[in-house]
Amino acid sequence: MTAPTDETAEAPEVKTPPIGKLERPDNLATTLDVSTMVDPDGGLVDRGIFTEEAVYKQEMKRIFARSWLFLAHEDQFKRPGDFFQTFMGEDPILVSMNRKKEIKAFLNSCRHRGARVCRADFGTTKNFTCTYHGWSFDLDGNLANVPNEYAYGEGFDKKDWGLVEVPNVQSYKGLIFGNWDPNAIPLEDALGDLRWYLDAFIDRDPEGTTVVGGVMKWVLDGNWKLAAEQFATDWYHVNMSHASALMVMSPTGRGPKKEIAERPGKQFVSPNGHGAGFPVHERNRFDNSVVHDYYDYDALRERLGDKRVTGPMTNGHATVFPSFSYLPVNGSIRVWHPKGPNKMEVWAWTVLDKSMPEEVREAQRLHNLRTFGPSGIFEQDDGENWSECQAIAGGFITNRVALNYQMGIGTEKEDPDYPGTTSELFSDAAGRSFYRKWRELMSTPAWHEKEGN
């Protein structure tokens, strides 16, 4: 088929369609009142929030469509055309660097019939060409080329059919987050006081952090919240769940180091749903001896202050609400991608200080792999627990029996040594706060539910 060449022929009238936007009936997805399914004051959680499809769908709409979600590390983008494919909730997202070296994020779905315009996990490209009919998009998401474009007639304008861009993409010290909400509060404000704790991991080095070893991905049977809340609030499981791993790592091989099993610590409790826990000890040190020997602890005290070096700098766990977590001593950052109420996909990176020489990088990479890689001695314990809890949660009676999040009720307080609200190491306080935020978002209409969106 060739293009019509008769310039005088009258073009048929083409009605310009609404630009990728049609009216949806309000009741297409029923909104549930889930406010009674969690009780953050009394410390109770209904297991239906882990199993019900309708609750899960509402999470996509009211939590993932308006929260800051981790996309990638800046180090993954060095030159124009570098891209990385990920998800925000279940939406496929293409993160890429344009010619001006700006990092942008787009919905990875062709505006024609909806196929992904890029199917590679990561790489470098000049443009994204959909393999279904060949629409091609440039690095700014503009529709640049349409095969047989003449067939659309005159009313068709490529400008109207670019990739849907994530309106907010912001970085915090190398960590790139995206948010669909056009009125989202800035990322730094959303992180709030957690930044002080997070900096103990990603701001140890004036040069910043880098990523090594690619992205590890694995699938777990279990609701995404089981992992996210555990990393926010649960040091409690460490001594029991990880007993064998701690034994392996103890100098005698006979049992976990007493100082690990019994040491006191703190938990940070964010009103935005984030949480972090860490032991507090004068001799907090990196477990790996090569990494331990590399660090100048006096310099770290100078940079981060005593309280961070004896607290959140090494051991500990944290979650940035809703689904991004990290482990400073291991150098692990991870996203719990939701894949239905009963399944999650874990994506994990190894992040370490840019100034580290090669042998220290390798030691830290291996340490992370051995402890919190997909077959890491700690990681396997955690995944097994989440799958165990999920496997039986759908039982009719089981599902109706509420779960206990009452540890440390009333221990939340302000502490002059630590920003924000804190609780004790063994506490569910950050878990209660996680579910308080969850309930708040699940109970209030999101930006896209308001008129005009």
Which stretches of the chain bind ligand FES, using CB under 6 A?
110, 112-113, 115, 130, 132-135
Q: Which does 101 bind (CB under 5 to 8 A by kind): ligand FES, Fe ion, none?
A: none
Q: Which does 113 bind (CB under 5 to 8 A by kind): Fe ion, ligand FES, none?
A: ligand FES
**Residue 353 interacts with Fe ion (CB under 5 A): yes or no:** no
**In the complex, minimum distance from the CB of residue 133 to ligand FES, in angstroms, rounded to a whole number:** 3
Task: Convert residues 375-394 into a mask of x (bound to Fe ion by CB under 5 A) and - (unbound).
Answer: -------x------------
**In the complex, minimum distance from the CB of residue 90 to ligand FES, in angstroms, rounded to a whole number:** 19
**In the complex, minimum distance from the CB of residue 296 to ligand FES, in angstroms, rounded to a whole number:** 54
**In the complex, minimum distance from the CB of residue 112 to ligand FES, in angstroms, rounded to a whole number:** 3
Q: Which is nearer to Fe ion, 353 or 382 (CB)?
A: 382
Q: Which is nearer to ligand FES, 146 or 243 (CB)?
A: 146
Look at residues 160, 158, 164, 202 and name the one whose alpha carbon lies nearest to residue 70. 202
> What amino acid positions are annotated as catalytic residues?
133, 234, 237, 242, 382
Q: Which is nearer to ligand FES, 153 or 255 (CB)?
A: 153
Q: Are 325 and 228 in contact (CB under 8 A)?
A: yes
Residue the block writes with tokens 């999470």: 59
Return the residue nearest Fe ion (CB atom): 382
CA dist., res. 258 & res. 185, Å (int): 43
CA dist., res. 369 & res. 388, Å (int): 23
Q: Which is nearer to ligand FES, 132 or 152 (CB)?
A: 132
The 3 state secondary structure assigned to the chain is CCCCCCCCCCCCCCCCCCCCCCCCCHHHCCCCCCCCCEECCCCEECCHHHHCHHHHHHHHHHHHCCCCEEEEEHHHCCCCCEEEEEEECCEEEEEEECCCCCEEEEECCCCCCCCCCCCCCEEECCCEECCCCCCEECCCCCEEECCCHHHHCCCCCHHHHCCCECCEEEEECCEEEEECCCCCCCHHHHHCCHHHHHHHHHCCCCCCEEEEEEEEEEEEECCHHHHHHHHHHECCCHHHHCHHHHHHHCCCCCCCCHHHHHCCEEEEECCCCCEEEEECCCCCCCCCHHHHHHCCHHHHHHHHCHHHHCCCCCCCEEEECCCEEEECCCCEEEEEEECCCCEEEEEEEEEEECCCCHHHHHHHHHHHHHHHCCCCCCHHHHHHHHHHHHHHHCCCCHHHCCEECCCCCCCCEEECCEEEEEEECECCHHHHHHHHHHHHHHCCCCHHHCCCC
Q: Which does 382 bind (CB under 5 to 8 A by kind): ligand FES, Fe ion, none?
A: Fe ion
**In the complex, minimum distance from the CB of residue 317 to Fe ion, in angstroms, rounded to a whole number:** 7
Q: Which does 112 bind (CB under 5 to 8 A by kind): ligand FES, Fe ion, none?
A: ligand FES
Q: Which does 234 bind (CB under 5 to 8 A by kind): Fe ion, ligand FES, none?
A: none
**In the complex, minimum distance from the CB of residue 149 to ligand FES, in angstroms, rounded to a whole number:** 12
**In the complex, minimum distance from the CB of residue 231 to Fe ion, in angstroms, rounded to a whole number:** 8
Q: Which is nearer to ligand FES, 149 or 262 (CB)?
A: 149
Q: Which does 132 bind (CB under 5 to 8 A by kind): Fe ion, ligand FES, none?
A: ligand FES
Q: Which is nearer to ligand FES, 114 or 271 (CB)?
A: 114
Q: Which 2-61 positions form the footprint of Fe ion (CB under 5 A)?
A: none
Task: Phi first, then psi: give them for residue 229, nearest 5 degrees.
Answer: -70, -35
Q: Which is nearer to ligand FES, 74 or 140 (CB)?
A: 140
Q: Which is nearer to Fe ion, 383 or 408 (CB)?
A: 383
Token digits of residue 191: 């992180």
Q: Which does 126 bind (CB under 5 to 8 A by kind): Fe ion, ligand FES, none?
A: none
Burial of 328 (0-12, 13-18, 19+ CB in 10 A): buried
**In the complex, minimum distance from the CB of residue 407 to Fe ion, in angstroms, rounded to a whole number:** 16
Q: Which does 110 bind (CB under 5 to 8 A by kind): Fe ion, ligand FES, none?
A: ligand FES
HSE value, Cβ hemisphere, 13 Å, CA-based, for 406: 5
Residue ranges that bind Fe ion, judged by CB under 5 A? 382
